[in-house]
């Protein structure tokens, strides 16, 4: 495909049946060059004019890990099961969480921040939140490097079950993208959304077993954690990286179902709201 | 004239575009609007029941006063916004020359921005690479192409934006008062390029309140007044009629 083929109707979605949705996905796929350029643009722009540049991508999770370990391990004496060192236990949950929360907040702002483009040129707008989410993969990659170094420091090898990680994380990322789509669209109509996302992310952080093992949660509150997809993913990461256990198949399927539902519904809502974007700027 | 295999480049069918006048709507107002099932605030019609067709290869001027709805018409053609009622049909790749360089990232170099902007306009990477030298030469920025564009002057910025847009191989070119980019030499080059497009059969839609620009380029013109299409015909005739409505003392200024 050398050229974007002619569009016989209005390029902006005016209807959104199941067939239209497939058409939009096909159009999105044709414009993958653009997605790639947007990711590069974010990456190049992110740490320009900062002396330490990409070192910040290391320093941020590293400093968090150190201070949280000090507070929750040294002061509050939280001991993870099976003698896993607390910093390791924490970091396996913290790195994917940081991906989730930074992807969600930068994705929410992505369309609003590109308002000068959105009001002038048509391109599939889902490129913007998708690029914002994909950009955060780089931070995840740096986080994983620190994790490997941390494991080496504690003289532990990742368990062989780590091969599950890419699959689990892939599902987690689809879930993240599915949440980002409608939030990015809504943020254009109501700037309240970005603040709401900030508040919700803070609450969500504490309600996800990142700082503490899930076993610490009293029985009567366990429903909150059963309903929290992030808890499901983070527990699975710990199983496959630290404890050498396969993830529970039932839970993987639940995670997958939640992720698929969120991306389909999220994308649908995004496309429904898309035609009003330029008028709301 | 037209057959099924050769649809018009642009077709507006009874297009109406309404905007909400009030800005800064909040969640509370949204909730109220949903509960009371009423529209949010006052509406304003930028275009009302406008219908026209532009055949392929035609060059159309749209003339009218500020706020008459010209730019809204361009946005509808660009596909940036959707009509409130009626239908807009557009066939082919649209390249908008509206505020050039809107897609530039200040921290990226000219080279990186050419790639970014080209792909925003729908060019593939291969197309951009093929056209790259030609784009840089057209913009006359050979020596500055690896400089971040935030160091560019506004003229350089626009030249690069224009250069990318005219190399994006459009079927339909939308031009919104941008022919005043750069110095006289660059302007002449742009006009030359527009004439080439015209010869190649590219459909051009030009929005302007300058009678001269429209007469220079367009075969046909539309006059829009307060959102309504009031005249459609040969460019010279429409422009003459429009000029007759302009009070002389305004024209002198």
Cβ contacts of B75 on chain A, cutoff 8 Å: 119, 278
**B85 occurs within a structural domain:** yes
Query: B82 to chain A: nearest residue by CA?
Result: A275
A8 touches chain B (CB under 8 A): yes
Say how many domains are in chain B. Answer: 1
Pick the residue of A5, A24, A32, A37 with the most B CBs within 10 A to test the interface with B by mutation. Answer: A37
Considering only CB atoms, A121 lies closest to which of B27, B96, B115, namely B96
What mean pLDDT, rounded, does chain B reach?
A: 82
Considering only residues A94 and B103, tell me which one the structure prediction assigns the higher pLDDT: A94
A14 touches chain B (CB under 8 A): yes
Considering only residues B28 and B95, tell me which one the structure prediction assigns the higher pLDDT: B95
- Residue A275 — very low, low, confident or very high, per pLDDT cuts 50/70/90? confident
Cβ contacts of A279 on chain B, cutoff 8 Å: 19-20, 81
Query: A127 to chain B: nearest residue by CA?
Result: B120
Considering only residues A13 and B209, tell me which one the structure prediction assigns the higher pLDDT: B209
* Contact indicator for B10, B90 with CB cutoff of 8 Å: yes
**B75 occurs within a structural domain:** yes
Which phi and psi angles does B230 have, rounded to 5°? Answer: -105, -20
Asked if residue A11 has pLDDT above 60, the reply is: no
Give percent of chain A above pLDDT 90. Answer: 60
Q: What is the per-residue pLDDT for A281?
A: 73
Asked if residue B223 has pLDDT above 60, the reply is: yes
Q: What is the per-residue pLDDT for B3?
A: 46
What CATH number corresponds to the domain at position B50?
3.40.50.300
Residues of B with CB under 8 A from a CB of A: 7, 19-20, 25-27, 30, 75, 78-83, 87-94, 96, 98-99, 102-103, 105, 107-108, 112, 115-116, 119-122, 124-127, 169, 171
Give percent of chain A above pLDDT 70. Answer: 93
Q: What is the mean pLDDT of residues A127-149?
A: 94
Q: What is the per-residue pLDDT for B178?
A: 60
Q: What is the per-residue pLDDT for A1?
A: 37
**B185 occurs within a structural domain:** no
Dist. CA B183–CA B11, nearest whole Å: 35
Q: Where are the domains of chain A?
A: 18-43+50-280
- Do A279 and B112 lie within an 8 Å CB cutoff? no
**Angle between helix B125-139 and B154-166 (nearest 10):** 140
Considering only CB atoms, A7 lies closest to which of B87, B90, B107, namely B90
Q: What is the per-residue pLDDT for B26?
A: 62
Q: What is the mean pLDDT of residues A93-97?
A: 96
Answer positive or negative: Cα dihedral of A277, A278, A279, A280: positive
Q: What is the per-residue pLDDT for A81?
A: 87
Q: What is the per-residue pLDDT for A6?
A: 44
**B152 occurs within a structural domain:** no
Q: How far is A226 from chain B, CA to nearest CA, in Å?
A: 31
Rounded to whole angstroms, what are the CA distances from B85 to A144, A275, B37, B62? 52, 13, 20, 21
Considering only residues A161 and A14, tell me which one the structure prediction assigns the higher pLDDT: A161
**B147 occurs within a structural domain:** no
Asked if residue A214 has pLDDT above 60, the reply is: yes
**B140 occurs within a structural domain:** no
Pick the residue of B10, B80, B207 with the most A CBs within 10 A to test the interface with A by mutation. Answer: B80
Considering only residues B204 and B38, tell me which one the structure prediction assigns the higher pLDDT: B204
Q: Tens digit of pLDDT for each residue in B5-63?
A: 567 889 998 999 988 765 555 666 666 666 665 555 667 788 999 999 999 999 999 98
Q: What is the per-residue pLDDT for B25?
A: 56
Instruction: Tell me the two tokens of residue B71.
Output: 């730019």
Q: What is the per-residue pLDDT for A175?
A: 98
Question: What residues make up the domain containing B39?
Answer: 10-92+207-252
Q: Tens digit of pLDDT for each residue in B62-88?
A: 988 887 888 889 889 988 888 888 888
Instruction: Tell me the two tokens of residue A278.
Output: 């330029």
Considering only CB atoms, A45 lies closest to which of B30, B90, B107, namely B107
Instruction: Tell me the two tokens of residue B115.
Output: 């790639």
- Residue B253 — very low, low, confident or very high, per pLDDT cuts 50/70/90? very low
Q: Tens digit of pLDDT for each residue in A161-213?
A: 999 999 999 999 999 999 999 999 999 988 889 999 999 999 999 999 999 99
Q: What is the per-residue pLDDT for B252?
A: 44
């Amino acid at each position: 495909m050398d050229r974007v083929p002619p569009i016989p109707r209005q390029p902006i979605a005016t209807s959104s049946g199941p067939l239209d949705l497939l058409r939009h996905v096909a159009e999105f796929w044709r414009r993958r060059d653009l997605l790639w350029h947007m990711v590069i643009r974010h990456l190049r722009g992110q740490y320009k004019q900062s002396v330490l540049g990409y070192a910040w991508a290391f320093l941020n999770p590293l400093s968090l890990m150190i201070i949280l370990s000090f507070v929750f391990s040294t002061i509050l004496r939280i001991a993870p099961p099976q003698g896993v060192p607390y910093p390791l236990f924490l970091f396996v949950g913290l790195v994917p969480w940081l991906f989730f929360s930074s992807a969600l907040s930068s994705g929410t702002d992505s369309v609003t921040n590109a308002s000068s483009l959105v009001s002038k040129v048509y391109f599939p707008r889902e490129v913007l939140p998708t690029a914002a989410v994909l950009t955060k993969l780089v931070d995840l990659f740096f986080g994983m490097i620190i994790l490997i170094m941390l494991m080496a420091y504690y003289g532990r090898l990742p368990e062989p079950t780590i091969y599950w990680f890419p699959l689990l994380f892939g599902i987690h990322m689809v879930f993240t993208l599915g949440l980002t789509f409608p939030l990015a669209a809504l943020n254009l109509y109501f700037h309240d959304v970005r603040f709401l996302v900030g508040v919700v992310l803070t609450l969500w952080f504490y309600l996800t077993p990142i700082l503490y093992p899930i076993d610490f949660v009293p029985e009567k509150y366990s429903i909150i954690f059963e309903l929290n997809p992030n808890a499901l993913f983070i527990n699975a990461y710990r199983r496959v990286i630290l404890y050498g256990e396969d993830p529970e198949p039932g839970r993987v399927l639940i995670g997958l179902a939640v992720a698929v539902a969120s991306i389909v519904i999220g994308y649908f809502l995004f496309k429904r709201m898309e035609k009003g974007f330029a008028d709301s700027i | 004239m037209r057959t099924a295999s050769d649809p018009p480049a642009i077709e507006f069918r009874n297009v109406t575009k309404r905007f909400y006048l009030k800005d800064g709507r909040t969640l509370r107002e949204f909730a109220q609007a949903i509960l009371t099932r009423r529209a949010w605030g006052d509406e304003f019609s930028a275009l009302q029941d406008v219908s026209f067709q532009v055949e392929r290869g035609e060059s159309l001027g749209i003339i009218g006063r500020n706020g008459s709805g010209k730019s809204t018409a361009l946005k509808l053609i660009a596909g940036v916004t959707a009509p409130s009622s009626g239908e807009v049909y557009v066939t082919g790749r649209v390249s908008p020359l509206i505020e050039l360089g809107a897609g530039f990232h200040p921290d990226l170099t000219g080279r990186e921005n050419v790639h970014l902007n080209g792909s925003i306009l729908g060019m593939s990477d291969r197309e951009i690479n093929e056209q790259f030298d030609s784009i840089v030469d057209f913009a006359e920025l050979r020596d500055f192409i690896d400089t971040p564009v935030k160091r560019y002057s506004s003229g350089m910025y626009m030249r690069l934006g224009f250069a990318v847009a005219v190399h994006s191989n459009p079927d339909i070119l939308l031009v919104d008062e941008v022919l005043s980019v750069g110095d006289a030499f660059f302007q002449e080059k742009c006009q030359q390029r527009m004439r080439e497009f015209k010869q190649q059969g590219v459909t051009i839609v030009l929005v302007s309140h300058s009678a001269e620009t429209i007469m220079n380029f367009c075969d046909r013109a539309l006059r829009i007044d307060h959102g309504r299409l009031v005249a459609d015909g040969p460019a010279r005739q429409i422009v003459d009629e429009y000029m007759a409505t302009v009070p002389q003392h305004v024209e002198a200024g």
